[in-house]
Amino acid sequence: MLDGKIAVVTGASRGIGSAIARKLADEGATVVINYNGSEERANAVKAEIEGKGQKAVVRKCDVSDFASCETFIQGVIKEFGRIDILVNNAGITRDGLLMKMSEEDFDQVLDTNLKGAFHTIRFASRQMLRQKSGRIINMASVVGVSGNAGQANYAASKAGVIGLTKATAKELASRGITVNAIAPGFIETEMTAVLSDKVKEATAAQIPLGTFGQPEDVANAVAFLASDEARYITGQVLHVDGGLVC
């Protein structure tokens, strides 16, 4: 389905991003696995993909850094000649109540989750405009829609990702580029592993489908939005949350 496509996935060394990298490779894309700190794990994802006879490369870049993103994206364009799919998945949490939240914790989350997506889109979209085609998929969160106590920085970043998605979708639509966001609910990764069993149970009880989702549930939605079947969908936020926020 994605044969011959070049897909860049940020934060693909683990969690949801690694599941997205594996899924897009399964569909035939050559995947650029971006990481920041987890080099070994990024290489393990690459080895797994190559073990199935599929194609992947690993590239380090801190998405919160504008200049590094320029080097990263230009490097991919130089190497592969195009970018068909850009998945802005890299994200962090620095949870805490607003009254006690440091400026650093606020800035780090905004710089990674929101500005990180701006940085890569800023450089990849120029190439997509030349190609007159492209798919951009940004990882938001249900928390960006509903808010969540203790996550003012994270919720603001994800609400920002939704705004960025909608504005960019309008700017790029006339050139055949679609831009959508996915809003996962609670997905089993290291990000949610830090929650206590009590919080996990209470959260699962709020989810109409009854359980946390798996990284593959999000990866399947990404593969759909990246596919030809989704050609007429842009500027949307697709919830993958078991019905948590409707």
How far is residue 120's CA from residue 24's CA, in Å, rounded to a whole number? Answer: 19
Binding segment toward ligand NAP, per CB under 6 A, in 46-54, 59-67, 74-82, 229-237:
59-67
Q: Which is nearer to ligand NAP, 141 or 168 (CB)?
A: 141
By rule CB under 6 A, what string of x and - marks binding of each residue 178-217 to ligand NAP?
------x-xx-xxxx-------------------------
End-to-end CA gap in the chain: 30
Residue of 7, 15, 124, 159 that binds ligand NAP (CB under 6 A): 15
In the residue annotation, 35 being an active-site residue is answered as no
* DSSP code at position 183: E
Is residue 68 within 8 Å of residue 76, measured between CB atoms?
no
CB of 56 to ligand NAP, least distance (A): 14
By rule CB under 6 A, what string of x and - marks binding of each residue 18-47 to ligand NAP?
----------------xxxxx---------
CB of 118 to ligand NAP, least distance (A): 13
How far is residue 183's CA from residue 202's CA, in Å, rounded to a whole number? Answer: 20
How far is residue 228's CA from residue 3's CA, in Å, rounded to a whole number? Answer: 11
Sheet bearing 177-184, strands edge to edge: 56-60, 30-35, 6-9, 85-88, 134-139, 177-184, 237-240
For the chain, give the number of residues: 246
Is residue 225 within 8 Å of residue 25, measured between CB atoms?
no
Residues 82-101 that bind ligand NAP (CB under 6 A): 89-92
CB of 128 to ligand NAP, least distance (A): 20
Q: Does 234 bind ligand NAP (CB under 6 A)?
A: no
Is residue 233 within 8 Å of residue 6, measured between CB atoms?
no
Q: Does 119 bind ligand NAP (CB under 6 A)?
A: no
Is residue 142 within 8 Å of residue 99, measured between CB atoms?
no
CB of 63 to ligand NAP, least distance (A): 4
Q: Which is nearer to ligand NAP, 38 or 227 (CB)?
A: 38
Select which of 72, 118, 154, 212 is catalytic.
154
Residues 125-164 that bind ligand NAP (CB under 6 A): 139, 141
**Which residues belong to the active site?**
154
